[in-house]
Chain A
Amino acid sequence: MLFPAALGLGLPLGIGLAAIGSGIGIGFLGKGAMEAMGRQPEILPKLQVAMIIGFGFAEALTIYAFVTMFFLQGRIG
Chain B
Amino acid sequence: MQTPRPGRSILDRALLTSWIVAIVIAAVLAPSHPYDALSLLAGQLIAFLHFMFLRKIVKIFTEKRKGAGRFILTKLVLVYGGLMALIGWGKAGYAPLCAGFALPFLTLFLKSMMLAFGAGPASLTRRGTPVHRAGAGAGAGGAAALALILLALAAASPARAEEPLPTANGAHGTVTGQASHPQPVTHAAEAQHEEGAAELPNWLVILHDWNPGNPVIDWLDKNQIIVFAWIAGLLFLFISWLAMRNAKMVPGVLQNAVEWMVESMESIAGGLLGEKHIQRHFPIIGALFFYILTINMLGIIPGMKSATSSLDLTLALALITFLYVQFWGIRNLGIIGYLDHLAGSPRDAIGWAMLPVMLPVHVLGELAKPVSLSCRLFGNIFGEDTLIVVFVGATAVLIKASLVALAVPPMAGITALFMMLQTLTSIVQALIFSLLATVYLYMMLPHEEHGHEESNAEAHATL
Q: Chain A interface (Cβ within 8 Å of chain B)?
A: 45-46, 49, 52-53, 55-57, 59-60, 63-64, 66-67, 70, 73-76
Contacts and interface: CB of A to CB of B under 8 A. Distances in A.
Interface of B: 165-169, 267-268, 271-272, 372, 375-376, 378-380, 382-383, 428, 431-432, 435-436, 439, 463
Contacts of B435: 49, 52-53, 56
B376 A56 contact: yes
Contact of B271 (A45, A57, A63): A45
22 contacts: A45-B267, A45-B271, A49-B268, A52-B432, A52-B435, A53-B432, A53-B435, A53-B436, A53-B439, A59-B376, A59-B380, A60-B375, A63-B376, A63-B379, A63-B380, A64-B375, A66-B379, A67-B375, A67-B379, A70-B167, A70-B379, A74-B167
A10 to B, nearest CB: 16
A45 B270 CA distance: 12
Nearest to B196: A74
A63 B373 CA distance: 11
Nearest to A56: B432
Contacts of A76: 169
B166 A52 contact: no
A19 B359 CA distance: 32
Nearest to A70: B165
B285 to A, nearest CB: 13
Contacts of B382: 70
A21 B229 CA distance: 34
Contacts of B167: 70, 73-74
B165 A49 contact: no
B166 A73 contact: yes
Contacts of A45: 267-268, 271
A63 B384 CA distance: 11
Given A70-B167, A70-B382, A52 B431 contact: yes
